[in-house]
Amino acid sequence: MISIITPVYNEGEQIYSNVVKIMSILLKNNIEHDFIIVNDGSSDNSWQEMQRLCKNYNNISIINLSRNFGKEAALCAALENTYSDACIIIDSDLQHPPELIPKMVELWKEEGYDVIEGIKLSRGKESLFEKIAALTFYGLFYKSSGINLNSASDFKLLDKKVIDAWKSMKESITFFRGMSAWIGYRRIQIPFEVQDRAQGVSKWSFKSLTKLAIQSITSYTSAPLYMIIWLGIFTLFFDFILFIQTMFMKFSGKALTGFTTVIILILGIGSCIMISLGIIGIYISKIYDEVKRRPRYLISSKEGKGFSND
Ligand code: UDP
Ligand code: MG
């Protein structure tokens, strides 16, 4: 039994037909499945459409979050509410081709892989700016954590073992792709071509993506904190050379008014301190977020057979 998990945020115009399409592919291939669809606080008619799905198909369960918590939290909500032998995570806008699902299932069943990851062959339609932003983020992430997520996607099949391992990770700020790479297990990658959105536009804004980028790096690795130390050592070295030069100028009587050096030093050191404080601040705020032990998401209602006994 396999659960298909899909997060939904303002996809009212397409969620019904997209789910039906995914289902028809599964049925054609005789894959025993159910659906867990999570509404991530949509402000359109997505929830009504999901209720319609739930009424018409008895293998569809739906979860309604109390507000928009973000895709990561929506995935958490679904994963924590599934008890199937495996899960497939797929976007609700059909950008992840559902035609690949039978192949994923085969790899899982026949060859015993625990994680089957969809890998983007190309990144779909993107503006130059989006391309640069994505490259910068993945570059930073790779440098600081050693994990290459460049072509990783959230399109994945996860075995029950992996989901259980993932459930035992209790941090409240999650970066799904990073965490599922950290877990390990027997994994294989299958490439796919990112499709155009079935309908509507992407729900990410520049601000929300920047926030996700900073959050995912800082919640995954503390490398930036160590970078500060290197930055400090580097400036110290630089200062030392300047110090000797200044002393030399002074004692040889060649010292000028010297304001340039002072200003440069103040600027340099000042900016290093600011950057360092900023980075430390980010981590402190994360510690703060973690110690609050707030839930990752709040569920306002659940419907469907999958939840009938709670
Ligand atoms: N999504 C979500 N919460 C959000 C933003 C997006 O659950 O706050 C869902 C969205 O409905 C879709 C998936 O995450 O199923 C991917 O979102 P989108 O297509 O906007 O992102 P992109 O494909 O551009 O990465
Ligand atoms: Mg999309």
Enumerate the domain spans of the chain: 2-201+295-307, 223-292
CA atoms of 38 and 11, how far apart (whole Å): 11
3-state SS record for the chain? CEEEEEEECCCCCCHHHHHHHHHHHHHHCCCCEEEEEEECCCCCCHHHHHHHHHHHCCCEEEEEECCCCCHHHHHHHHHHCCCCCEEEECCCCCCCCHHHHHHHHHHHHHHCCCEEEEEECCCCCCCHHHHHHHHHHHHHHHHHHCCCCCCEEEEEEEEHHHHHHHHCCCCCCCCHHHHHHHHCCCEEEEEECCCCCCCCCCCCCHHHHHHHHHHHHHHHCCHHHHHHHHHHHHHHHHHHHHHHHHHHHHHCCCCCCCHHHHHHHHHHHHHHHHHHHHHHHHHHHHHHHHHCCCCCCCEEEEECHHHCCC
Specify the residue for token string 């996809």.
11
Nearest Cα to 175, choosing from 75, 265, 29, 108? 75
Residue 48 is which amino acid?
Q
User: Measured between alpha carbons, how far is residue 200 from residues 10, 93, 125, 213 in Å?
Assistant: 9, 8, 14, 24
Question: 226 C-alpha to center of ligand 2: Å?
Answer: 35
Question: 127 C-alpha to center of ligand 1: Å?
Answer: 17
User: Measured between alpha carbons, how far is residue 60 from residues 16, 81, 85, 225 in Å?
Assistant: 11, 13, 16, 45
pLDDT value at position 308?
62
Question: 39 C-alpha to center of ligand 1: Å?
Answer: 11
User: Measured between alpha carbons, how far is residue 92 from residues 5, 6, 265, 266 in Å?
Assistant: 9, 6, 53, 52
Question: 135 C-alpha to center of ligand 1: Å?
Answer: 19
pLDDT value at position 238?
80
- Residues lining ion ligand 2 (Cβ < 5 A) are 91, 93, 95
Tell the CATH superfamily of the 2-201+295-307 domain. Spore Coat Polysaccharide Biosynthesis Protein SpsA; Chain A (3.90.550.10)
**Ligand 1, pocket residues at CB < 6 Å:** 7-9, 11, 40, 68, 70-71, 74, 91-93, 95, 202-204
User: Going by CA atoms, what residue is nearest to atom 21 of ligand 1?
Assistant: 202
Dig out the tokens for 163 from the structure.
Answer: 């989901």
Q: To 5 degrees, how large is the angle CA 92–CA 94–CA 97?
A: 130
Question: 7 C-alpha to center of ligand 1: Å?
Answer: 7
pLDDT < 50 regions, the chain? 310
Dig out the tokens for 162 from the structure.
Answer: 């992996």
User: Going by CA atoms, what residue is nearest to atom 25 of ligand 1?
Assistant: 202
Pocket test for ligand 1, best of 71, 123, 212 (most atoms within 8 A of CB): 71
User: Measured between alpha carbons, how far is residue 285 from residues 61, 70, 180, 227, 254 in Å?
Assistant: 36, 19, 24, 18, 49
CA atoms of 53 and 69, how far apart (whole Å): 23
